[in-house]
């Protein structure tokens, strides 16, 4: 028999995953999973405008949620949600594929190396109109996808419903982490841990709680969230790429 608490949590998630709820003023909630606290924000590409942001028209990297919010306000748009969206170098420039508004700012990075980004397989989060996905980098390149928005990071957390085999339940490294998962081709779930957690615990959140068959790790200790619907505005060190949900112009 499924515990009542589990049924209530599932009901809340299913509600958040509907287009009507995703477009509501409060798409985010704090949840507890396996003793750890997370904030999850769920959107639907059929009703929500999910975009990636790096810099302004002069090429200056935004670097903060406040700067991005101000830039959008000048265009009579409102930032409803934002999160850092992929790893970057000392110039705050993406280290992997980055596409914004259909323009590729940085090509895919298939090199080997140290660090989480190079823990293969890594992957790409992409958005094209009312569709979105998370896919392994090599598969993305083989499919020759050309989405309006895309960002590469790594490692993949969940692949085809299974936790990345390189992520072990015996891992002990705990950090604040954020990531993104997609299900049904249009439901996009963002998550950030509110306390240090292992890779395996974070991957399990996407597979077990959020029911995402594919999910991607975005970053670790610098993870930050802008969610005015729950009065949250993290102000940490300068960031590189950001993903945001923008209220469509009326």
| Number of separate domains in the chain | 1
Instruction: Provide mean pLDDT across the span 209-233.
Output: 96
- Residue 21: its pLDDT value, please? 43
Instruction: Provide mean pLDDT across the span 118-136.
Output: 96
SS3 130: coil
pLDDT over 90 percentage in the chain: 81
Asked if pLDDT for residue 111 goes beyond 60, the answer is yes
CA distance 187 to 1: 28
- Residue 250: its pLDDT value, please? 59
Strand partners, 225: 83
SS3 117: helix
pLDDT, tens only, 40-95: 999 999 999 999 999 998 889 999 999 999 999 999 999 999 999 999 999 999 99
CA distance 151 to 134: 10
Is residue 6 packed enough to be buried (19+ CB in 10 Å), middle (13-18) or exposed (0-12)? exposed
Q: Are 167 and 157 in contact (CB under 8 A)?
A: yes
**Which range marks the domain in which residue 157 is found?**
4-247
């Amino acid at each position: 028999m499924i515990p009542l608490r589990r049924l209530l949590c599932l009901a809340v998630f299913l509600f958040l995953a509907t287009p009507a709820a995703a477009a509501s003023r409060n798409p985010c909630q704090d949840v507890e999973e396996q003793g750890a606290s997370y904030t999850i924000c769920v959107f639907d590409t059929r009703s929500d405008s999910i975009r990636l942001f790096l810099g302004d028209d002069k090429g200056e990297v935004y670097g903060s949620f406040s700067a991005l919010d101000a830039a959008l306000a000048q265009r009579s748009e409102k930032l409803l949600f934002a999160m850092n969206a992929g790893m970057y170098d000392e110039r705050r420039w993406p280290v992997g594929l980055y596409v914004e508004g259909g323009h590729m700012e940085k090509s895919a990075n298939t090199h080997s190396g140290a660090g989480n980004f190079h823990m293969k397989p890594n992957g790409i989060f992409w958005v094209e109109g009312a569709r979105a996905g998370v896919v392994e980098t090599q598969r993305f390149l083989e499919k020759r996808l050309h989405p309006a928005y895309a960002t590469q990071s790594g490692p993949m957390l969940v692949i085809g419903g299974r936790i990345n085999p390189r992520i072990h339940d015996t891992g002990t490294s705990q950090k604040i982490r954020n990531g993104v998962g997609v299900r049904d081709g249009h439901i996009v779930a963002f998550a950030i841990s509110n306390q240090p957690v292992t890779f395996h615990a974070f991957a399990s959140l996407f597979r077990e709680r959020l029911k995402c068959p594919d999910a991607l790790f975005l970053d670790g200790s610098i993870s930050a969230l802008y969610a005015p619907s729950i009065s949250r505005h993290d102000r940490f060190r300068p960031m590189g790429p950001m993903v945001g949900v923008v209220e469509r112009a009326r």
